[in-house]
Amino acid sequence: MKFRHECKHEISYADMLALRSRLSAVAQRDAHAENGCYHIRSLYFDNLYDKALREKLDGVNCREKFRIRLYNGDTSLIKLEKKSKINGLCGKESATLTADEAQRIADGNTDWMAVDSRPLVNELYCRIKNQGLRPRTVVDYTREPFIFPAGNVRVTLDYDIRTGLSCTDLLSERCVTVPTGDTIILEVKWDEFLPSVIRDIIQLGTTRTAAFSKYAACRIYG
């Protein structure tokens, strides 16, 4: 697993408009985006003691969280992901799931995971059995991604963050989500170095680095 630098900033709507214009002049749009953006739906896991949530809020140095994610409602490509953070660096592991597998996990039907050939599926199964992980809530948002090859930089603008409250059926159209507020997040990820052109663009003067978590924001109602 390769670890990358990551920083997040809460920005205003005016900042987003300015960044969109500036980034469009120097960076590439993600080829997978439709009209410059895509919709992300994630199902996050936590235990009865809200381990993942509390570690995030407390700023624990070494932590991890599991989620199942799909893009633009396309069930032909669903990812199980584990995101880890160690000493300020972030890493991500992933495995592809079928729609049936994702639905079974969301429904709590997990015995088949014990003998699955994918290590990440086995690891989630162990966490379910040993730590009591369970599907906790669905998180929806819109993302505008930009790519800058030097430094393997990825800049995203995330907004319209919505919570499924207690809904965990991420593949169901009946899983209605509600807005968590008007927060807009600028997220920047890079490998060994952040090119000066990108660093200059994201210095808006009104932003502040923030340990913002969409999952935490979507747990505001419980």
Domains along the sequence of the chain with CATH: 3-217 (3.20.100.30)
Q: Residue 102: what pLDDT? A: 98
pTM of the model: 0.93
Query: Could you tell me whether strands 38-46 and 63-71 are parallel, antiparallel, or unpaired per DSSP bridges?
Result: antiparallel
**Each residue's pLDDT tens digit, 114-155:** 999 999 999 999 999 999 999 999 999 999 999 999 999 999
Q: Residue 219: what pLDDT? A: 86
Residue whose pair of structure tokens reads 């992901």 in the numeric block: 81
Q: How many degrees, rounded to 5, is the angle at CA 47 between CA 43 and CA 51?
A: 100
State the average pLDDT over residues 168-195. Answer: 93
State the average pLDDT over residues 189-200. Answer: 95
HEC assignment per residue over 26-42: HCEECCCCECCEEEEEE
